[in-house]
Structure formats: structure tokens, C-alpha cells
Amino acid sequence: MPQITVNGAKHGVAAAPETPLLYVLRNDLGLKGARFGCGTGHCGACTVLIDGRAIQSCDTPLWAASGCSIVTIEGLGGPDALHPLQRAFLDEQAAQCGYCTNGILMSAMALLDRHPLPTDEQIREGLRRNLCRCGTHVRVLRAIRRAARGAA
């Protein structure tokens, strides 16, 4: 039985090694924060952190995540203890429909871990695999800059 570590907890998973990680997170572990968007790794709605890197979980097989540390949006923070990045997104109203927001937050987290005070170019590059059809891009950039200033 494959073993994965998600949000600090180890889980034995009764799934085939080639099962997409997204399916395991949502269906086996009940973590609904990573969302199914395109199913081909192009939209970013399913983004999670694997060993600190933003990875699209819809096209990542379970075997590729074995032995790694996986963090989902549920591991970032919650209503009683928001992560500063989540607080900045709320303060800047950086979500409209919200479908893509969890994936964007996870990509932004990976970016800020690598570049605590990113330039606008670094932010855009860090989010290049995240698609938002609502057009909140300007507010997303402001929120990430706000979170970076607050953390620095």
C-alpha cells in the first residue's frame, strides 16, 4: 500500500501507483481544496506543494509523490488561523468566483518561500501555470506583494 505524507500526516492509500494524486487527495483523503480543472496540468486549479514546489496534482501520479512532503491548501491555514497570504488575498479581494484561488495560493506560497520579496516579474513567472478566467490578476499581484511586505 503506497504511503504519502499530506499536511504532516502519514497516510496509507489503497490506490494504484499511477492514480493521479488529485484523485487520492480528494477521493481517498477527503481534501477538497485542490480542484479538478483541466485534468492536463495546464490550469493550476489542482496545485499543491510537493517538497516545497508547486505541482499540478491532476497529472502527477501517486508513485511520484511517495516519500515526499505534500501540502494542500488545507495545510496552509484555516478560518481560525489564516496564513498571511490568505489574509492578504482577503484584504485585496483577490478572488472572484474562487475556483482557481486555492491553486494560485499554493503557487504563491512556493514563490514566496523561494523569493520572500519577489519582483512583479517573479510573481508573474511563479503564477504562469495558474489560469484565472475572472480577471482578478491585478488584485492577485497586489495580494502577493502585500503578503511579501508583511512577511519581510
Residue 47's pLDDT is: 98
Residue 151's pLDDT is: 58
User: Whole-prediction pTM value?
Assistant: 0.94
Residues 47 and 110 grouped into a single domain: no
In a domain, 41, yes or no: yes
In a domain, 79, yes or no: no
Residue 152's pLDDT is: 47
The total of structural domains in the chain comes to 2
Residue 134's pLDDT is: 86
Relative orientation angle of helices 101-114 and 137-151, to the nearest 10 degrees: 40
Residues 65 and 10 grouped into a single domain: yes
Domain boundary among 56, 74, 92: 74
Q: What is the CA radius of gyration of the chain?
A: 15
In the chain (152 residues long), the average pLDDT of successive 10-residue segments reads 92 95 98 95 96 97 95 92 94 91 97 96 95 89 94 52
Domain containing residue 58: 3-74
Domain boundary among 14, 49, 74: 74
